[in-house]
Structure 1
């Protein structure tokens, strides 16, 4: 029995590779990211004060951060909230001060609201990264609470360390000599936003996201965030018509729009990360269905021999197959009783692969030939279908288990040993008449 990695999805030629930008746009709209951004905006408004309270509590819990708390707040509002940052800071500080006087029930409500925001983010990213298995309630709470509690601490550490390094005489003198101090301060928001987005893409989804892809997506989101911040700040200061309409309430619609744009940008970065993960196998269409199905069956066969079952994530640990392709193949295999999903969201084999010919797998994956009984008035067509079905079954009579163990198809089925299995599946799918 070969290792599960022995069947690798075939790589497509360079000329058939897709445009990442076009794929990101398609994914963005197909995943309904605009609606997700709207839902996140609404939840953010409810969770903003709890998040601020948790952030300040986390920072003030450490004496080293307490001295820098004012500077940290100034940095955040100046670099991450355009135009109306001063007004929002005053309002939020008042809200947070009021929150400190809440009863236990009120504090619990604020914490639940903050966790609900993380759950909404989790659902949006799960849709983007095609996550199928859900964490348990306890595991989800631990992940969310870790982000809420450790996120502000990590942010504070990065800002304090940066401030300390810039204040060091050697670094300060070197930066002043090359005129780099202003540049370092200018790129600091981009660095922090990039790292923040990247950590969001890595930690929240319940699947493995390569760090290099998350950093690339975080950089895209960070650049878009900086560009949007400047354009949005320029607009609200150059065309202050919203002030004439809303008066003293002008900060509210401005902030709503900015939060919505921020979430749109965050989801674009997530889609870019997902596109990079898919690009590894020459997507968007991915490898032929038969190669993907054999990959799944091989891993489940190996797990069955060990007496276990696999989750969807464990079936594709290195993202060797796109999530969309894997989902479609799993659905077809389950519909034709090749695999079964257990109550604990794991996959197991539902057939003995040693007794099932490869022809049946092909029949399950591709559009079948019409039933001969339905061609009673067309003898020529019925004869052609009968011959085609017989030929396919004869050529693919090898048991699936033998295919997985490395037996050449050409030995029993007449296929050339050099002919790639994926070539047969691709030709079958393009011919328009596969098997029953």
Structure 2
């Protein structure tokens, strides 16, 4: 039996699914889905206001409203309330009432939602560094305006295909193909939306080929959840009888929660698929002993310093993994610690598709084993005011002197000399 399980784990599909489920449950991604559900409730009215405003500019506002009501056909109370809020918001904005405060609140709620999405995706991808202020503003505003345009164009395309299908009743084969294409369009559009989200949202390089299958699976799962959500209302008649119109709110929140869970699990699948070959070690960096972390940090520093001394480009995280054999998850964690200790600097390219490279933070003459150990051990901001005078003894002083002597001796060992080169 064990041999069969071991053979199954050698299969890429099984291994991807196994690791994705393992990390999904281990990292408590469901809690992140709950936080995103709350942010979605705050941002849904401003987002829909922008979608309706852009749709009015294209002349599609009536079709967008029909699409929205159809999406919430199982909960007409929710659709009615949201559309009422959106129309009220647009009327007040058009008349200039509360324009400044309303605009600030709209931008804040949308930015908060997108920021929470980025944090959740970065945690899945083990990315410690957030976007710069400039990239945050440009990327978030690009999504803020492109997403409504995507909804409007997709709705217009569906209407165009529906019109074509009606006009092709005499062409049985072509008309049947167009109608099947219309039936498949929600799955296709939802899959494209997830693929773009998985590639664009993490603040790291994500290969498109690794996001295609997770995006398609997430898109299909979302449509199935939507189908179940609409047709399951006949089972909750008693629930509606107890809570009345208030039942729409918990049902809507449950749907949003499940939707975000599907989205984040797809992100886990994308991450696992891209890093499948590097999962020789599945633990956390915190599980490694402090001594061994120092050894691994010294190895990474030596590779970076040696390449810099040879006049070569700074290595990427993937190149460091290949040269050192350290698992990629551990490489990212150690690189972040070395940056916090002011031993390395990260050179971020302008293009998101390019990977960051790492260089020594100062002259190689100053980077030694002693300096690295001293800085890594000195990291931390919280200090306790202990009664040191009552604790110090002769043996304590002796221990401090010996440690300082050890660090002085280690300063003679330059980090670049630890690695023989490639």
Corresponding residue pairs, total = 345
Question: Is the contact made by 1:202 and 1:210 (CA closer than 8 Å) also made in structure 2?
Answer: yes
Q: Which structure carries more relative contact order (alpha carbon 8 Å, separation 6+)?
A: 1
Shift in Å, 1:58: 2.7
- How far off is 1:297 after superposition? 4.8
- Matches of 2:156 and 2:305 in 1, distance apart? 49
Q: Which residue matches 2:360? A: 348
Question: Aligned-residue CA RMSD in angstroms?
Answer: 4.2
- Structure 2 residue runs of 5 or longer lacking an equivalent are 1-8, 284-292, 349-357, 377-412
Q: Are the aligned partners of 1:294 and 1:404 in contact in 2 as well (CA < 8 Å)?
A: no
Instruction: Give the whole-Å Cα distance in 1 for the aligned partners of 2:69 and 2:328.
Output: 38
Range that drifts further, 165-174 or 152-161? 165-174
Alpha-carbon displacement from aligned partner over 1:101-145 (angstroms, at most 9, x marks no partner):
041212211221111111111111111111122212232122111
Are 1:302 and 2:299 an aligned pair?
Answer: no
Q: Report the TM-score, using the length of structure 2 for normalisation.
A: 0.68
- Structure 1 contact 53–99 (Cα < 8 Å) conserved: yes
Judged with a 3 Å threshold, the aligned counterparts in structure 2 of structure 1 residues 191 and 343 are, in CA distance, closer, same or farther, namely closer
Q: Secondary structure at the match of 1:240?
A: helix
Mapped partners of 1:76, 1:298: distance in 2: 55
**Aligned to 1:54, what secondary structure does the other structure show?**
helix
Q: Does 1:167 align with 2:163?
A: yes
CA contact (8 A) 2:191 2:218 kept: yes
Q: Partner residue of 2:205?
A: 208
Aligned partners of 1:92 and 1:305: how far apart in 2? 62
For the pair 1:25 / 2:17, whether they are aligned, the reply is: no
Alignment-derived partner of residue 98 in structure 2: 103
| CA distances 1:216-269 after superposition (whole Å, capped 9, x unpaired) | 221121122122222333322223222012112121111111111111111111
Partner in structure 2 of residue 233 of structure 1: 230
Higher mean alpha-carbon deviation, 254-263 vs 169-178, is at: 169-178
Contact between 2:46 and 2:106, CA under 8 Å: does it hold in 1? yes
> In the alignment, what sits opposite 2:335?
330
Q: Which residue of 1 aligns with 2:352?
A: none
- Call closer, same or farther: CA 1:240–1:266 in 2, change over 3 Å: same
Residues 263-412 of structure 1 aligned to structure 2 (within 5 Å): 263-283=260-280, 285=282, 297-298=302-303, 301-303=306-308, 314-316=316-318, 323-330=328-335, 340-342=343-345, 348=360, 405-406=421-422
Q: Which has the higher helix share?
A: 2
TM-aligned CA deviation for residue 341 of structure 1: 3.7
| 1:131 lines up with 2:127 in the alignment | yes
Hey, what does 1:248 align to over in structure 2? 245
- Aligned position for 2:61: 69
Measure the CA separation in 1 of the matches of 2:195 and 2:162. 25
Match of 1:34?
30
Q: Identify if the C-alpha distance between structure 1 residues 330 and 254 changes in structure 2 by more than 3 Å, giving closer, same or farther.
A: same
Which residue is equivalent to 2:154? 158
> Normalization by structure 1: what TM-score?
0.66
Is contact 1:197-1:266 (8 Å) kept?
yes
Specify whether residues 202 and 15 from structure 1 end up closer, same or farther in structure 2 by C-alpha distance, changes over 3 A only.
closer
Is it true that 1:224 corresponds to 2:229 in the alignment?
A: no
**Alpha-carbon separation, structure 2, partners of 1:297 and 1:309:** 12
1:280-313 residue CA offsets vs partner (Å, 9 max, x unmatched): 4355549xx9999867754564356559867xxx
**Relative to structure 1, is the Cα distance of residues 208 and 318 closer, same or farther in structure 2, using a 3 angstrom cutoff?**
farther
Distance of 1:266 and 1:319 partners within structure 2: 29
Q: Aligned partners of 2:223, 2:239: CA distance in 1, in Å?
A: 23
Give deviations 1:44-72, integer Å, cap 9, x for gaps: 111111111112223333xxx32x33223
| Conservation of the 8 A alpha-carbon contact between 1:175 and 1:181 | no
Q: C-alpha separation between the residues in 1 aligned to 2:336 and 2:106?
A: 40
The question of whether the paired residues in 2 share the 8 Å contact of 1:217 and 1:269 is answered with: yes
Q: CA 1:137/1:72 → structure 2, altered by over 3 Å: closer, same or farther? A: same
